[in-house]
Structure 1
Amino acid sequence: AFFTPYIGHGESVRIIDAELGTLEHVHSGATPRRRGLTRRESNSDANDNDPLVVNTDKGRIRGITVDAPSGKKVDVWLGIPYAQPPVGPLRFRHPRPAEKWTGVLNTTTPPNSCVQIVDTVFGDFPGATMWNPNTPLSEDCLYINVVSPRPRPKNAAVMLWIFGGGFYSGTATLDVYDHRALASEENVIVVSLQYRVASLGFLFLGTPEAPGNAGLFDQNLALRWVRDNIHRFGGDPSRVTLFGESAGAVSVSLHLLSALSRDLFQRAILQSGSPTAPWALVSREEATLRALRLAEAVGCPHEPSKLSDAVECLRGKDPHVLVNNEWGTLGICEFPFVPVVDGAFLDETPQRSLASGRFKKTEILTGSNTEEGYYFIIYYLTELLRKEEGVTVTREEFLQAVRELNPYVNGAARQAIVFEYT
């Protein structure tokens, strides 16, 4: 698996516990406990001629060479900090650039996944668990991964992956996102990033304490890191392609629209997502309502006149309590916390930007995954699918499912869907 810890044979590293702030030795071949893989201990004794030691604008980092599925070698740097941990007073806020460090940071273990719900609906069914985070959950999660082919290229094209997950889940470290094959076979630098999801990444109250779109600003800061550092890994900052799937594709499309991001990349690939997807954005009013509903659910002030009190209270709550209370008041086929037209990252709705031509003019590759909706049907129509054998759906049940699964479309569109599947 790609994102199992890359610790060389016979080596040991020290890992900082995200929650306790303590250090733990992990020897090669041992399986680290699900603890916070945050800041790896710096080591000042580094060989300046070591090609795996890269001098970034914040400090030196050490990577490791591993095998790609083809048998070729690739160099990887896992868990490079690009932002300060968004904890305490920084929760819900836009990210701040990482601080500089001294010595050499060991970037050989996968980073934390950002706090999110974990899918347990179908137990250990692989089709569901394969999407669950495979590294510890922590608010300290704003890290970048870089994979480079060997021998190290010069001015290679760069592909930056943005994971999906409905803006409520996801992590760049999933085995299904193995970057090694793409880097080794296509001779490109592959970059992936962690960004905040769920309420921690997209809670909006229209205040400086909760301005919204924090997850998109995470991505934007990561893009700036790539612009400033990718040449140090053999990449060309003028040949960066963003690509993502589902919410990742929506994210890519919003970077095409945002004046803050347009100049940070060149091309884009959108897989099963667009800026006009009905689930991709909500109004400021709806976003505020959802934030106050969450505040009420976790016992915080939830009056519109007490927004600062609500944010202060929400900052004091356990992050897992927040993400586990986000779904109580939503209808079917809705994701609780998503991007919003905030006046900073997005000045206007995607529809208006597209109509007026205010977007990045570039090459775009777009498409969708075959039958991707099946994944959601098993969650939204569990009563129908719990029948052990001989699943029979009546026409009325079918029509009701069409209505529930397509709440955003008009009657003519629903009739077209019915015609397609009957």
Structure 2
Amino acid sequence: MQPFPFFFFSPFLLFLIPSCSTQSEADFIVQTKSGRVRGFQVTVPDQSRPVVGFLGIPFGEPPVGKRRFRPAEPKRPWQGVYKADSYPNACFQFVDKSYPGFPGIEMWNPNREMSEDCLYLNIWVPSSVKPHNLPVMVWIYGGGFYSGSSSLDVYDGRYLASVENVIVVSMNYRIGAFGFLALDGTSEAPGNVGLLDQRMALQWVQNNIASFGGDPRQVTIFGESAGGASVGYHLLSPGSRPLFTRAILQSGVPNCPWASVTYAEARRRATHLANAVGCNGGNDTELVDCLRGKTPQELIDQEWQVLPWTALFRFSFVPVVDGEVLPDAPEAMVNSGDFKDTQILLGSYGSRKNVNTGAKPLLFKGQEKEPPDLQ
């Protein structure tokens, strides 16, 4: 709409202008269980429905120092109003520098400063006077469990929120050794803490999304590649099942050969990484203490050295069958019917379907339905 051409100016107009606004800054303040957060209005190109964004809301205490490799603790309540108007730090990760400046590579590299203080989530809410009981979609990024960030341009949730009139949530979770280094028998590095980060974010959504106008009974989790495998793990994990309603797995399932390792293999990789960075000898506690004394980049630089030379399409630090988060191997749990019985959408694309979803009949045994021919 073209602005009206005013040909005169009057103090009376100064009085009228503020009253013409339909939403004030106070409308973007939401009370959560942890404290108040302030969002901001986001425009969506080619869409008439604007969106209110809440970027970088903390859901976990920074997993730094002695908390490295351990399950995160929920964010403690804060005073005042938290300004949620910018994307958070990306979790520390491998950065692909093989083709500097090439958009097809750079689009997946972190576009924010990297930090171990990275447990934050983002929310996009369709802008209306009072949204109420809207469906919620929670995105879990992929990246082989070694890379990824909720701040990537391709994960901007404003478009989905505006077009489909749903609340969109995305979260960061620890990846690489920081999220998946595992030594069985020790609470200092039990493994799967990246999955527990995701679960903590899902619990935060259950506790708080109603305050944003969302319906905690209509939460769909969805992810691609390692994110799809993560969605599958939450379908299998007893502690995660109550925290969502439906699931979408895109180009990744938990029984992919690259998506998990045994505790024995996880220990071998952890020990190999320790040796590579100069943490030799001692018991598990001493090994973990030594690894905590290394800079994040020192660990990242050696991550790929832990893979067996025969490994093909494998990633260094991934989820482990720990008997708790993942009680048994995915195949065994599916065969015994031990998973969340709910509506599931599964998809793959092009050349990835054989590598990533070849185990589809196993994951959904008895539930398979061929998709319609859309050609």
TM-score norm. by structure 1 comes to 0.76
Displacement of 1:329: 3.5
Match of 2:331 among 351, 370, 385: 351
For the residues of structure 1 that align with 2:24 and 2:98, how far apart are their CA atoms?
50
Please list, as runs of the form range in 1=range in 2, the aligned pairs for 1:11-410 lying within 5 A after superposition: 50-71=26-47, 72-151=49-128, 152-206=130-184, 207-301=186-280, 303=281, 306-330=283-307, 331-372=311-352
CA contact (8 A) 1:74 1:184 kept: yes
CA contact (8 A) 2:320 2:326 kept: yes
Give the aligned length: 330
For the residues of structure 2 that align with 1:329 and 1:191, how far apart are their CA atoms?
34
SS in 1 for 2:346: strand
CA contact (8 A) 1:205 1:288 kept: yes
Give the letter aligned to residue 346 of structure 1: L
Give the letter aligned to residue 40 of structure 2: I
For the residues of structure 1 that align with 2:45 and 2:351, how far apart are their CA atoms?
27
SS in 2 for 1:51: helix
TM-score norm. by structure 2 comes to 0.85
SS in 2 for 1:342: coil
**Distance 1:211-1:136 versus aligned 2 partners, 3 A rule:** same
- Asked which structure has the greater RCO (Cα within 8 Å, sep 6+), the reply is 2
Unaligned runs of 5+ in 1: 1-46, 375-404, 410-422
Give the letter aligned to residue 181 of structure 1: Y
For the residues of structure 1 that align with 2:270 and 2:306, how far apart are their CA atoms?
11
For the residues of structure 2 that align with 1:372 and 1:51, how far apart are their CA atoms?
44
Give the letter aligned to residue 202 of structure 1: F
CA contact (8 A) 1:134 1:173 kept: yes
SS in 2 for 1:345: coil
**Distance 1:316-1:48 versus aligned 2 partners, 3 A rule:** farther
For the residues of structure 1 that align with 2:152 and 2:107, how far apart are their CA atoms?
8
SS in 1 for 2:109: coil
For the residues of structure 2 that align with 1:260 and 1:235, how far apart are their CA atoms?
22
Give the letter aligned to residue 351 of structure 1: E
RMSD: 1.9
For the residues of structure 2 that align with 1:122 and 1:164, how far apart are their CA atoms?
20
**Distance 1:295-1:373 versus aligned 2 partners, 3 A rule:** farther
CA contact (8 A) 1:82 1:221 kept: yes
For the residues of structure 2 that align with 1:70 and 1:353, how far apart are their CA atoms?
45
SS in 1 for 2:335: helix
Displacement of 1:123: 1.5
Displacement of 1:177: 1.1
SS in 2 for 1:183: helix
Name the % identity: 52
Unaligned runs of 5+ in 2: 1-22, 360-375
SS in 2 for 1:50: helix
Displacement of 1:124: 1.1
1:140-173, CA deviations, whole angstroms, 9 ceiling, x for partnerless residues?
A: 0000100000114210000000000000000011
